[in-house]
């Protein structure tokens, strides 16, 4: 069944109004759907609806709701603070992180990152990333679309980590403890309270530098190891998210 994202404000009782020009074009001219065909609508905030198209107008399409979808909300939403990597690899990671249920993604610039995004390009980049997250959520049937933050310097990003229940930082530093061991300890000593995110900080290909690790530790980050092999940045992010999903029972 085809899936579409709608604004929560466009859900009115038993009817959904599809008004986004991009979605309307896709429905009418790409998929050629019409009255009587069943679709799934996702509001991007955790709610989904199965319904039937029952009205097609020039600037709007109406869906009559037949079933409301409800999936458990993760007790500990995953928050990925990710160093910038090259364009296609970052977009691939954004797709995979969405498929793995990440709730928030914060791109950051770090000292060893080779990618720099000019200030004039950042608005367009952010819009593209948010569209990719939306399309990935539709593709995998996620009821929520992850929030994607504007790019910010690493030191500014870590200042917001006080909102997180846990902050884990995969690194090649010799003092890092295996992720599994750290998670087991945290689950015994400080299980995440409902609604508080678990943050994972993933560095660039050259890893975080010593000052960045020290700064993150001051804001509560725990350096962790993903094993003896050196992983690409996007591989480390996907591996970390998958491990945390398993550990948290998601």
Which tokens hold the place of 173?
A: 């530093």
Q: Which residues contact 23 (CB under 8 A, 6 or more apart)?
A: 4, 5, 6
> Which regions in the chain score pLDDT beneath 50?
none
- As a whole number of angstroms, the distance between CA 26 and CA 4 comes to 9
pTM, to two decimals: 0.83
Pairing verdict, β 147-148 and 152-153 = unpaired
Cβ atoms of 101 and 142 closer than 8 Å? yes
DSSP letter at 110 equals -
- As a whole number of angstroms, the distance between CA 211 and CA 218 comes to 11
- As a whole number of angstroms, the distance between CA 133 and CA 139 comes to 10
Which tokens hold the place of 219?
A: 């804001």
- As a whole number of angstroms, the distance between CA 180 and CA 162 comes to 22
In sign, the C-alpha dihedral spanning 90, 95, 96, 97 is positive
pLDDT value at residue 175: 76
Q: Which residues contact 61 (CB under 8 A, 6 or more apart)?
A: 17, 18, 24, 27, 28, 53, 55
pLDDT value at residue 141: 81
- The residues facing 63 across adjacent strands are 16, 53
CA 135 vs CA 11, 56, 150: distances in Å: 20, 23, 19
Q: Which residues contact 171 (CB under 8 A, 6 or more apart)?
A: 203, 207, 208, 213, 223, 224, 225
Which tokens hold the place of 233?
A: 């940045």
pLDDT value at residue 75: 66
Which tokens hold the place of 59?
A: 């600037």
Cβ atoms of 143 and 71 closer than 8 Å? yes
pLDDT value at residue 195: 80
């Amino acid at each position: 069944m085809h899936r579409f994202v709608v604004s929560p404000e466009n859900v009115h009782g038993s009817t959904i109004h599809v008004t986004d020009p991009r979605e309307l074009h896709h429905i009418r001219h790409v998929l050629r759907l019409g009255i009587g065909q069943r679709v799934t609508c996702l509001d991007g905030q955790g709610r989904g609806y199965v319904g039937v198209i029952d009205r097609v107008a020039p600037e709007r399409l109406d869906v009559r709701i037949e079933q409301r979808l409800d999936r458990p909300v993760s007790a500990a939403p995953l928050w990925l603070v990710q160093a910038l990597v090259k364009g296609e690899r970052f977009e691939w990671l954004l797709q995979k992180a969405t498929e793995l249920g990440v709730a928030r993604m914060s791109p950051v610039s770090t000292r060893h990152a080779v990618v720099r995004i000019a200030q004039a390009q950042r608005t367009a980049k952010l819009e593209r990333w948010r569209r990719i997250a939306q399309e990935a959520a539709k593709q995998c049937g996620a009821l929520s679309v992850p929030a994607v933050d504007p790019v910010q310097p690493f030191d500014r990003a870590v200042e917001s980590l006080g909102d997180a229940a846990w902050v884990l930082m995969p690194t090649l530093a010799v003092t890092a403890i295996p992720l599994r061991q750290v998670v087991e300890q945290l689950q015994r000593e400080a299980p995440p309270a409902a609604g508080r995110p678990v943050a994972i900080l993933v560095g660039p290909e050259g890893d975080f530098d010593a000052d960045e690790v020290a700064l993150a530790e001051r804001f509560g980050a725990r350096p962790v190891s993903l094993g003896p092999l050196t992983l690409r940045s996007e591989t480390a992010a996907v591996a970390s998210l998958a491990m945390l999903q398993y550990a948290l029972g998601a």
